[in-house]
Homo-oligomer: A and B are copies of this chain.
């Protein structure tokens, strides 16, 4: 069985395991206060080109999302998100469980627009019954989005300006940030994201680490006592140095960017080859998630040797499936997939 379901199918990039093995029997203090975490924080500051940021390392994405949002908001405040946003769809109500409404904005491609934010806030402010409505105080976006799209620098700048104009925090979920930055159409980089957001994270779980999300807080208002909230929400790893060692390895010489590029090369190849076979895509994802329409029979046959994500039935009776590449994708496996898709093209 060759798997293309997602980008967390394998363990970690071999250099990560080597680094963990090499440092394994050293003794360090706990909870992220060790020297490896310090080294990793310094490396992240360089990557962000900003020494004023606070850097925290957490284990997973849902954990990071709920910790950031519940730390930032007051009781009556909520967070705007695309209706397809991970916090709105696939975290079992993690944000609501901390007391805050996720305010879903319609979207066609997984992205939200500055004008949607402006419009929502205007209506909120104009509402005579505004005290009876959840106060929008934060905007959550993911980049790449859950549907594989990315924000351009111009789009992110507009969103950032809208947030600042409207007194909202901007929070960017970068669980797959590496892949977004490595894709051809991208014109963003981490220093720009650092400058344009209040808080964001650089995902490790899906980009070569065993696990780990690197959170960057740029807005001073969000920095105070953040570690207390990490602890409260169960996100403070006892052996914090496991995160420090991994992120230091990723950022000390650019490994993170290098392996992200590999994933994108594999995605480009997969996309080109599937396109050449005449299959139809849903949307035009520029990143490592590719959404393809298959017949039920094709799904059945393909499933004999390959695993992939079933996204549900389409109105026309076909099935939408997702193939993901990652840092670990082998070119030979893509060749095998293409071979099989060629065989079943007509069924």
A234 in complex: contacting residue of B8, B71, B233, CB < 8 Å: B233
A235 and B236 CA atoms in complex are apart in Å by 11
A235 in complex: contacting residue of B23, B63, B98, CB < 8 Å: B63
| Residues of A202-230 whose CB lies within 8 A of B | 205-206, 210-211, 225, 227-229
Flag the segment in A45-53, A126-134, A286-294 that touches B.
A126-134
A143 and B60 CA atoms in complex are apart in Å by 28
Residues of B within 8 Å of A31, CB to CB, are: 131
A10 at the interface (CB under 8 A from B): yes
Residues of B within 8 Å of A236, CB to CB, are: 60, 62, 131
CB-based contact A20/B28 at 8 Å: no
Instruction: Please give me the residue from chain B that is nearest to A31 by CB atom.
Output: B131
With most chain B CB atoms within 10 A of its CB, the pick from A6, A66, A237 is: A237
Residues of B within 8 Å of A206, CB to CB, are: 238
A107 at the interface (CB under 8 A from B): no
Question: Chain A: interface residue count, which band?
Answer: 35 or more
Residues of B within 8 Å of A101, CB to CB, are: 93, 96, 102
Residues of B within 8 Å of A138, CB to CB, are: none
A240-277: CB near B (< 8 Å → 1, else 0) gives 01100000000000000000000000000000000000
CB-based contact B94/A328 at 8 Å: no
A33-72: CB near B (< 8 Å → 1, else 0) gives 0000000000000000000000000011111111100110
CB-based contact B328/A227 at 8 Å: no
CB-based contact B328/A90 at 8 Å: no
- A17-B21, A25-B328, A234-B234 known, 15 other contacts, Cβ within 8 Å: A6-B30, A9-B28, A11-B23, A11-B26, A31-B131, A59-B59, A60-B236, A66-B234, A75-B97, A89-B132, A90-B133, A93-B232, A94-B231, A97-B232, A211-B239
